Amino acid sequence: MSMNFDLECKNIVKKFDSFTAVNDVSFSIPKGSFFSILGPSGCGKTTLLRMIAGFNNPDSGDIQIKGKSVLNVAPNKRPVNMVFQHLALFPMMNVAENIAYGLRRNGMVKSDIDVKVQEALERIGLPDAGSKRVDQLSGGQKQRIAIARCMVLNPDVLLLDEPLGALDLKLREHMKVELKQLQAQFDTTFVYITHDQSEALVMSDQIAVMNHGVFEQVGSPQELYYNPQTAFVAGFVGDSNRWHGRVVDLDATSVKVETESGLQMSALSVGSALKKGDDVDIFVRPESISISVGKDGNVSDENKLTGKLTNILFNGADSRCLIETETGEEISVNMPQTGDFNDLQRGTDVTVSWRQDVAKCFSHCADLDEEQ
Ligand code: ATP
């Protein structure tokens, strides 16, 4: 069974004195996957990655690579390699020497090294870059060289610690796609840690959302986006409108909530069983809300508010409309560029509405208050 997984972590706990940085984390990564660990700063991502690499040991639990425990295996003997944010390419060596570094240290003969290095350069789309100096490369090229330098060693698992963090925004957007392609090219499991949900959504087969040392949810990008199981996941993955309130009524699947600002909303209850009086958060995605012009509100949706359009942010394929409700709240709505609403102007009176089943209600998550 275990042999189907490149990496398995079982009940990993890591404490620093009395502080628990990683708290009973278990997961299994199928062969050849792109797996991201996504969470805010300080949630324990790096600590977990360092244990997989062998720089730290867990206080309890087991780490297995291809079905074998690596707890007693030194970092340089583990079938893993790590790419850091600051890529640590050697500036005094050319590109080929950088890629060859680990192979030379392992004692491979020069003619074999040359073949491996050239193969790697071709795989990363830089067949002629071998003799270049590192400072002649762009940021994206350096990134690819850093990955090639690890991949020539044939690791079972490549660990990547926020490798795009040091790049400018445009290059980061480009590298998201490229990293995913490289992972498929090498057909090796990548474990990628990031606090950037958009990176994780674009690249990953599976994402683990981590908070306070625990995995809140593990799933595909689509599962996390459409079926978050906790308020933290709903708030951290993708954009949402969020209301904080109390449950005033409920049945088996839905709840009525009174928000802090006195609005009544109905939503699906998700995750732990809720009861009357519970402190909750409701999330509605901007693309799940409809706008109609005027205050008549002639819509059948369960949730309906009136307000004024305060801004329209053009975003290419769609526009983000900001609406201030009569109760003084700001709501974001995404509208496709269909032309239906071309005459919407700032200051227009509008009705916004959404169905109960696109509004998800969870136990309140205080961490999301801190973020705002
Ligand atoms: P970031 O994205 O900011 O790197 P992270 O999610 O990677 O954050 P970690 O670096 O794993 O978080 O740290 C998790 C928690 O453990 C933090 O509160 C950190 O202060 C603490 N921590 C990490 N290493 C040590 C250490 N050697 N001694 C004491 N506390 C530590």
Name the residue at shortest CA distance from atom 26 of ligand 1. Answer: 16
Two tokens, residue 307: 């307000």
Contact yes or no for 241/321 (Cβ under 8 A): no
Q: What is the CA radius of gyration of the chain?
A: 25
Q: Are residues 256 and 121 in the same domain?
A: no
Average pLDDT over residues 181-210: 93
- Output the pTM of the full model: 0.89
Of 204, 231, 258, the residue that ends a domain is 231
> Considering the chain, what is the average pLDDT of its residues?
90
pLDDT band at 315 (very low <50, low <70, confident <90, very high): confident
Q: Is the CB of 41 under 6 A from ligand 1?
A: yes
Q: Are residues 260 and 120 in the same domain?
A: no
Q: Cα 159 from chain centroid?
A: 15
Alpha helices in 125-264, H assignment, sequence order: 139-151, 169-186, 197-203, 221-226, 231-236
Q: Are residues 171 and 209 in the same domain?
A: yes
pLDDT band at 155 (very low <50, low <70, confident <90, very high): very high
Q: Are residues 293 and 343 in the same domain?
A: yes
Of 254-263, 291-300, 357-366, which range is least confident?
291-300
Q: Are residues 251 and 348 in the same domain?
A: yes
Q: Cα 264 from chain centroid?
A: 32
Could you give the number of structural domains in the chain?
Answer: 2
* Domain containing residue 304: CATH number: 2.40.50.100
Two tokens, residue 123: 């795989």
Of 184, 216, 231, the residue that ends a domain is 231
Q: Is the CB of 188 under 6 A from ligand 1?
A: no
* Domain containing residue 207: CATH number: 3.40.50.300
Q: Please give the distance, rounded to the nearest whole angstrom, from the Cα atom of residue 21 to the centre of ligand 1.
A: 7
- Residue 223 backbone phi and psi in degrees, to 5: -60, -45
Q: Are residues 75 and 189 in the same domain?
A: yes
Counting Cα atoms < 13 Å in the Cβ hemisphere of 175 gives: 21
SS3 143: helix
The boundaries of the domain holding residue 269 are 232-371
In the prediction, which pLDDT does 342 show?
64
Q: Are residues 206 and 312 in the same domain?
A: no
Of 231, 266, 301, the residue that ends a domain is 231
Taking only the tens place, the pLDDT of each residue in 12-43 is: 999 999 999 999 999 999 999 999 999 999 99
Q: Are residues 26 and 149 in the same domain?
A: yes
Taking only the tens place, the pLDDT of each residue in 286-311 is: 999 998 888 876 677 889 999 999 99
Q: How many CB atoms lie within 10 A of CB 297?
A: 14
Q: Please give the distance, rounded to the nearest whole angstrom, from the Cα atom of residue 60 to the centre of ligand 1.
A: 18
Counting Cα atoms < 13 Å in the Cβ hemisphere of 257 gives: 31
How far is it, in rounded angstroms, from Cα 72 to Cα 53?
12
